Amino acid sequence: MVNIRDVAKYCGVSAMTVSRALNNSGQISKETKERILKACEELGYRPNFAARSLVTKKTNMIGLIIPDITNQYYSQVSKGVSSYLSLHGYGLLLCNSDRKKEEEKRYLNFLSEGRVDGIIIFPVKPKKEDYEGILKEIPLVMADNYVDGLNANFVGNDNYHGASEIIRHMVKQGFKKIGVILGPTSSSASNERLRAYKDVLAENNIEYLSDIVLESDATFDDGFNLAKVLIEKGVDSIFAINDTVALGVIKYCYLNNINIPYDIGIAGYDNIQQSSMLPVPLTTVDQNGSRMGKVVAETMLNLLTGGAIISKKIILKPQLVIRKSLRES
């Protein structure tokens, strides 16, 4: 592997001059610069990342920890992050926590060896103490699940708003016994949506029944399995914590000849691409993962460059997407 000194020797200059040519730093005559750049081409010189980052203390890398890359919301987030970073000369170190706390911890450890300049995390069942240590060591942006009392930058979706909108729509469509499939209790997103659910029921004088509000790990299989439970309890509709769960519910209905939306109404959350192409298109809430990705990456880079941070807490407004799974209006 050819190094900076080989180039220097080849050009009859010092290593420092080559470094300057490559980094546009300091004063350097146009001719020598061009000569050096040409030599780098010819010799196939590539600056050594480790050496550079050892001295500059910068990696131009950002770590992204997400629960599940095969979930479309997160893949959109990843794409948004990736595009924004790439545009600004940064690389992405992707960590798929698989919704496991231990994996998340392992990755946090892995990243904290100085592999990245900052960490963006979409945490699973977050607790304050999990992130207090790392927060002192490396810039951190948290997303989706707010951790109370943690002085970290946060970008969230307005879950209360999104859920209120869709539940209100459900009530307006005439549904009265609305079953819910939540995410884990430690998920603030899930809790906010539950709060909205309760408030909208109260607004409409509908009794809250805790036995038709179920907790889950927010997977497709959970949707499939819990649909059975809820339907046996006589709900007239189901609000799923995300579209993937809703797809599980829909699969159950499909296999059991339960008509959507007349036997049962279904509402999702996320607006994944396929939601619009179902037998009965899914009414859902669009969180715009790609926008989230961009914003979270932008926040990170602002943090790194010390640029003005408008707010330590950014809340994005999701949008209700009305389709046919809650009957026609």
Where along the sequence are the contacts to DNA (CB under 7 A)?
Answer: 1, 3-5, 12-17, 19-20, 22-23, 25-29, 32-33, 45, 47-48, 51-52, 54-56
Tokens of 90: 């940064």
Q: Taking the complex as a whole, how short is the minimal distance between the CB of residue 98 and its own copies, in angstroms? A: 7
Q: Which residues on neighbouring strands pair with residue 154, listed in sequence order? A: 142, 313
Return the residue of 12, 274, 313, 317 that touches its own copies, per CB under 8 A: 274
Q: Taking the complex as a whole, how short is the minimal distance between the CB of residue 107 and DNA, in angstroms? A: 19
Nearest to 180, CA basis, from 211, 206, 214, 207: 214
Q: What is the DSSP string of 299-318?
A: HHHHHHHTPPPS-SEEEEPP
Q: Is 325 exposed, middle or buried (0-12, 13-18, 19+ CB in 10 A)?
A: buried
What is the Cα–Cα distance from 260 to 266, expressed in whole angstroms?
Answer: 7
Is 37 a binder of its own copies (CB under 8 A)? no
Cis peptide upstream of residue 67 (ω within 30 degrees of 0): no
Q: Which residues on neighbouring strands pair with residue 213, listed in sequence order? A: 180
Task: Give, in order, the Cα–Cα distances in Å from 277 to each of 94, 222, 282, 327.
Answer: 30, 22, 8, 16
Cβ-based neighbours of 259, under 8 Å, separated by 6 or more: 253
Q: Taking the complex as a whole, how short is the minimal distance between the CB of residue 266 and its own copies, in angstroms? A: 12
Is 101 a binder of its own copies (CB under 8 A)? no
User: Considering CB distances under 5 to 8 angstroms, the limit depending on partner class, which of its own copies, DNA, none binds residue 22?
Assistant: DNA
Q: Taking the complex as a whole, how short is the minimal distance between the CB of residue 214 and DNA, in angstroms? A: 48
Is 310 a binder of its own copies (CB under 8 A)? no
Residue owning tokens 């780098």: 40
Interface positions, 241-260, toward its own copies (CB under 8 A): 247, 250-251, 254
Residue placing its CB nearer to its own copies in the complex, 194 or 241: 241
Return the residue of 7, 36, 92, 150 that touches its own copies, per CB under 8 A: 92
Is 167 a binder of its own copies (CB under 8 A)? no
Return the residue of 50, 148, 211, 328 that touches its own copies, per CB under 8 A: 50
Contact yes or no for 119/61 (Cβ under 8 A):
no
Site for its own copies, rule CB under 8 A: 1, 44, 46-51, 53-54, 59, 61, 68-70, 72, 75-76, 78-79, 82-83, 86, 91-96, 98, 103, 106-107, 109-110, 112-115, 133, 137, 220, 247, 250-251, 254, 273-274, 276-279
